[in-house]
Amino acid sequence: MLGQLITSGIAIGATYALMALAMVIIYKTSEVLNFAQGDMAMLSAFVAYMCLSTYGLGFAMSFTLALAFAFALGAFLEFAFLRRAKEPNVLGLIIITLGLEMMLYGLASWRWGSDQKDFPFPVSDFEVHQLGGGVVISELNLVTLGVACALMILLFMFFRYTKVGVAMKATQQNQQAARLMGIRVGRIMMLTWGMSSVVGACAAFLIATTDTLDPNLMWTPQLKGFSAAVLGGMTSLVGAVLGGFILGVVENLFGGYVSVEFKAVVAFAVIVLILCVKPSGLFAKHYVRKV
């Protein structure tokens, strides 16, 4: 049972990791916690569903369109709402994202209703591989793990080596100075939101496959993603992914050996504990500004 709990924990942790990555991307550039993250992803999953079921498009086409939609949605929300904030401060912006969350939720409920829908996916969650000792992992789990790790590496390279990635980092550390370096901060923010939205959408596709698709799809994953991101220090991509895995495993072990009833509390406990004990997260290189 131990082996299976850990394996299942890592598998579910990969979805947390993806949500955590999405949140970290936006936090890195603007220090804004995006509470609309989950519902942006949920909406993108609905768009994929619509392409697949209503218009009968293929998987590759549908997912590409939905990811393009996700990017446009993220960029649009930044451009149309967050940038319009007068004298923005971080708290105000966070509240704007809460408002966006409600808008997106309402939109999805209105457009697609709240009936649960089955989300078709080319990879099955029932095709399992034996890992020995009766421990199994499904093909979907492997794909999720792969996507999480691949996106982490891609994003890491992007922030480290590309001009735009470095400009994003600069924007987060000092917007004013970034502007004067000739960085188009507005564009950088749009791009950030677009990218984050795409990562979130990947998470939503994978989650909707084991779950059922309805407007509440991403509420819990968003919370878990946030918890994982806090665990990893909010700004570290590698930290976010490891945070996701750790949270998944800890949750499952807690559910398996301590109490299933209180398993849902683990993620909250992690947030509180980390913020109290080590607010910089487990993996972020801690840095104190000298005055």
The set of residues, in sequence order, having a beta carbon less than 8 Å from that of 269 and lying 6+ positions away, is none
Task: Check binding of 83 to another protein (CB under 8 A).
Answer: no
- Nearest Cα neighbor of 241 from 148, 143, 146 is 148
CB 274 within 8 A of CB 282: yes
53 lines the binding site for another protein (CB under 8 A): no
Among 80, 260, 272, 275, contact with another protein (rule: CB under 8 A):
260
Give the residue with the Cβ less far from another protein, 192 or 276.
192
The answer to whether residues 2 and 226 touch, using CB atoms and an 8 Å cutoff, is: no
* Interacting residue with another protein among 75, 183, 199, 234 (CB under 8 A): 183
CA 83, 109, 112, 226 dihedral sign is: positive
Q: How far is the CB of 111 from another protein (least distance, A)?
A: 11
What the block records as the tokens of 117 is 């829908």
Find residue 128's DSSP bridge partners.
138
Question: Where does this chain touch another protein (CB under 8 A) — which range of 59-67, 90-98, 107-115, 269-277?
Answer: 107-115
The closest of 240, 253, 254 to 6, measured between CA atoms, is 253
Please say which residue, 82 or 211, places its beta carbon nearer to another protein. 211
| 3-state DSSP assignment of residue 136 | strand
Amino acid (one-letter) located at 51: C
Q: Whole-number minimum distance, CB 224 to another protein, in Å?
A: 8
Nearer to another protein, 64 or 220 (CB): 220
Residues forming the site for another protein (CB under 8 A): 1, 4-5, 8-9, 11-12, 106, 109-110, 113-118, 125-126, 128, 136, 138, 157-158, 161-164, 166-167, 169-170, 173-174, 176-185, 207, 210-212, 214-216, 219-221, 223, 248, 251-252, 254-256, 260-261, 263-264, 287, 289-290
